[in-house]
Amino acid sequence: MSYTTENIKNVSIAGHGGTGKTTLFERLLFAGGVISKPETVESGKTTGDYSLEEIERKISIHAALAHVEREGGKINLFDTPGSSDFTGDVILSFRACEFALLLVDGRDGVQIETIKLWRNLEGREKPRGVFLNKLDDDRAGFDKVLGDIKDKLKREPVPVTIPMGKGASYQGVIDVLNGKAYLVQREAVEKEGPIPGEFKDAFDAAREKLIEAAAEGDDSLMEKYLDQGSLSPEEMYAGLIKALAANKFVPAFAGAALKNSGLLPLLDFIHHAGPSPLTAQDTVRGAGGGETKVPIDPGKPLSALVIKTSYDQFSGKLSWIKVITGKLTADSEAQNVTENKKERIGKLYTCQGKKLEEVRELAAGDVGIVTKSATLRTNDTISAGEGSVSFAPLRLPEPVHSVAVNAAAKKDEDKLGEALVRAAEEDKTFRYQYNAETHETVISGMGELQINIILDKIRASQKIELETHVPKVAYRETITKKAGAEYTHKKQTGGHGQYGKVVMEIAPLPRGENYQFVNAIFGGAIPKNYIPGVEKGVVEGMAHGTMAHYPVVDVEVKIVDGKYHPVDSSELSFKLAARNAFREAMRQAAPTLLEPVMRLTVFVEDKYLGDVMSDLSGKRGKILGQDSVGGIAEIQAEVPQAELLRYSIDLRSITSGTGSFNVAFAHYAPISGRIADEVIKAREGFKVTETEE
């Protein structure tokens, strides 16, 4: 069946781990008639968690996509992982959807990942709602958790549904918007009925708040509300639709997903009032790097973004595509704008978890899958023709955990490389590179769990043995004072010899300026045609410092004099002279080692704050500041990279697995004393191989 843009809704189900996202996803498919029997996560048979690693570990690792039909409309649902290790698939779902539904545990309230996801949504100005789950538990408290959300997330959610009782007395939910009760029915879908008298006051109070939220969505409705004190259901819908699309209103839903409770009114609300793709925009990147917004528009020529790449055992390569404008049609030809290549679009699919369903077309706003594409990769833009817009790539966080990896057997290195390429394509928060400086293949990701799962998958699929270790740190060397040196390269062989003399002065530059070459030669002491050779020699000299053979940075090199021979001089002669002159000058310029320092942001519960800050101090960290809101502390610090190589493991140990952090490069800073001695000692035996071609 084909759906037009106005009949499509896209929803990302996200939240802290263990809040019940996959269960809600499964039960919504059951309530929507997609599946005849809902499965539990423990069974390993849910629609959302279908990969071998998800079934084995009983957690979501990848985003899953399915859809529910509602009164001729299509609701695309993304089930996303809760662990910060797999945040990449949450972010791609945010990009693909016009509405995010954050699950909050009705017992525990707002947790660390909830706050991080909320901040991400704030940065996108993305409309969102909250689903308070597990309200059938004795420890649950609907009003308490609504207050927690207001305190920690600084927005007041407005209930669209409210619970009837809790614990053993939990009966179901009340649809405040439509004035109906939905009663729990053992293994079946909830049943609609009248509102019990005991909940009439709670319903009236909630309805008044919802009317106010609707009135704030439209000026004319606000006037009517102020004049008459109420709005009709139709007017409420109209106001809520506008308020939600403009991100002025955060709807709150009550429920107990495992009991199929709170599902039907949630689906009805999304279908009738959820943000439409027609009210949304996507981001286009210009040739100069600037970004602008473009509306999702079915009336314009085709343009679409590849949001995810995955590989299926039977279907091969799967390219997940969000259509932004126009229509994507099966058996057609499109332009891969990113690669500047023609792309043949064969069959098109939508899906219900791992089950692909063939379709003829995807309208603007819809999400679907192209199989076995020759050129498409994540973040590629496809369009109807050349010269079209190029969509901005997914805004993904920087990796926080790195491991050096190699195949135990040399013959398996190529297989490992190919597997790492595929893994990095499937998960854009996972990266790998060969570090020529440390001679290691280093893989990086969002945490130890993510990296272990990827390596386990490679071991199993490629049948190879892998070795891992903590990666080496890329130190630098610099100078702390001015110095000068001269060097004459003279070599006499049969025929022409080699001759070049270079006199140079070097001086420190401010941190981060790297390198500056100044030609201060007067009177032709070194002819102009040999100056490029001099600079090449300086660059080669800077490749390996004199303390521990690390690259040299933040140095100004001034060539002040020299001498040449009309027959024996050459560019090579001056390159070798300059290289040796630089190293001699550096030895006299009080060289020092530099280490990379990282900017660290840590999120922990207040009860762990003291332990975490003490640990950071022990890691030579500098605390820049801290803030605590609603029991969640955020710590800003600068810490040497060498101390953070296993920080994801350390933080998990300190916080019982609840802590989370972000990390980014800040700057290089000098080190000396025992730490510098250890770095130098670790480089003993390092061979500098240079050619004199």
Single residue among 451, 469, 487 that ends a domain in this structure: 469
Cβ atoms of 13 and 99 closer than 8 Å: no
Predicted confidence at residue 415, as pLDDT, reads 94
Give tens-digit pLDDT for 92-138.
999 999 999 999 999 999 998 999 899 999 999 999 999 999 999 99
Question: How many Å apart are CA 526 and CA 562, to the nearest integer?
Answer: 6
Cβ atoms of 161 and 256 closer than 8 Å: no
The two structure tokens encoding residue 505? 């002065």
Predicted confidence at residue 35, as pLDDT, reads 96
Question: How many Å apart are CA 131 and CA 112, to the nearest integer?
Answer: 16
Is there a domain that residue 190 lies in?
no
- Read off the CATH number of the domain in which 46 is found: 3.40.50.300
Specify whether 100 is located in the same domain as 158: yes
Neighbours of 413 (CB within 10 A): 13
Name 228's Cβ contacts closer than 8 Å, sequence gap at least 6: none
Strands (E), 142-216: 158-159, 161-164, 172-175, 180-183, 191-193
Predicted confidence at residue 492, as pLDDT, reads 76
Neighbours of 601 (CB within 10 A): 15
Specify whether 440 is located in the same domain as 509: no
Closest CA to 483 of 398, 606, 589: 589
Question: How many Å apart are CA 535 and CA 371, to the nearest integer?
Answer: 51
- Residue in this structure with the two tokens 């793709």, named with its chain if needed: 277
Residue 530 falls in which region: left (phi positive, over 0), alpha (psi -120 to 50) or beta: alpha
Predicted confidence at residue 693, as pLDDT, reads 45
| Sign of the alpha-carbon torsion through 533, 536, 538, 541 | negative
Helix (H), strand (E) at residue 270 = helix 263-273
The two structure tokens encoding residue 128? 């969102």
Give tens-digit pLDDT for 215-266.
988 888 988 888 888 888 889 999 999 999 999 999 999 999 999 999 999 9
Specify whether 43 is located in the same domain as 33: yes
Please state, in angstroms and as integers, the Cα–Cα distance from residue 301 to each residue in 329, 335, 337, following that order: 12, 12, 14
Is there a domain that residue 77 lies in?
yes
- Read off the CATH number of the domain in which 579 is found: 3.30.230.10
Is there a domain that residue 191 lies in?
no
- Read off the CATH number of the domain in which 335 is found: 2.40.30.10
Cα 42-43-46 angle, rounded to 5 deg: 100
Single residue among 443, 469, 495 that ends a domain in this structure: 469
Specify whether 170 is located in the same domain as 95: yes
Predicted structure pTM score: 0.86
Specify whether 14 is located in the same domain as 142: yes
The total domain count for the chain is 5
Is there a domain that residue 183 lies in?
no
Helices then strands (H, E): number in the chain? 16, 36
Specify whether 350 is located in the same domain as 460: no
Is there a domain that residue 520 lies in?
yes
Is there a domain that residue 196 lies in?
no
Specify whether 36 is located in the same domain as 127: yes
pLDDT lower than 70: segments of the chain: 386-387, 493-495, 687-693
Question: How many Å apart are CA 176 and CA 205, to the nearest integer?
Answer: 10
Please state, in angstroms and as integers, the Cα–Cα distance from residue 650 to each residue in 122, 177, 401, 402, following that order: 30, 48, 11, 14
Specify whether 555 is located in the same domain as 603: no
Question: How many Å apart are CA 97 and CA 379, to the nearest integer?
Answer: 16
Question: How many Å apart are CA 268 and CA 173, to the nearest integer?
Answer: 14
User: Which residues share a beta bridge with 335?
Assistant: 342, 383
- Read off the CATH number of the domain in which 427 is found: 3.30.70.870
**SS3 sequence, 94-116?**
HHHCCEEEEEEECCCECCHHHHH
Cβ atoms of 464 and 415 closer than 8 Å: yes
Query: Rounded to the nearest 5°, which phi and psi values hold at 333?
Result: -120, 135
Specify whether 358 is located in the same domain as 345: yes
Predicted confidence at residue 482, as pLDDT, reads 97
Question: How many Å apart are CA 74 and CA 85, to the nearest integer?
Answer: 30
Single residue among 546, 561, 589 that ends a domain in this structure: 589
Question: How many Å apart are CA 437 and CA 472, to the nearest integer?
Answer: 9
Is there a domain that residue 675 lies in?
yes
Specify whether 611 is located in the same domain as 668: yes
Helix, strand or coil, per DSSP, at residue 480: coil
Is there a domain that residue 566 lies in?
yes
Closest CA to 112 of 638, 455, 612, 618: 612
What's the burial of 503, exposed, middle or buried (CB within 10 Å: 0-12/13-18/19+)? buried
Specify whether 125 is located in the same domain as 50: yes
DSSP code per residue over 535-570? HHHHHHHHTS-SSSSPPB-SEEEEEEEEE--TTT--
Q: Which domain does 31 fall in, by range?
A: 5-175+250-279
- Read off the CATH number of the domain in which 627 is found: 3.30.70.240
What's the burial of 138, exposed, middle or buried (CB within 10 Å: 0-12/13-18/19+)? exposed
Specify whether 122 is located in the same domain as 266: yes
The two structure tokens encoding residue 205? 């109070």
Buried b (16+ CB within 10 A) or exposed e, 150-188: eebbebebbbbbbbbebeeebbbbbbbbbebbbebeeee
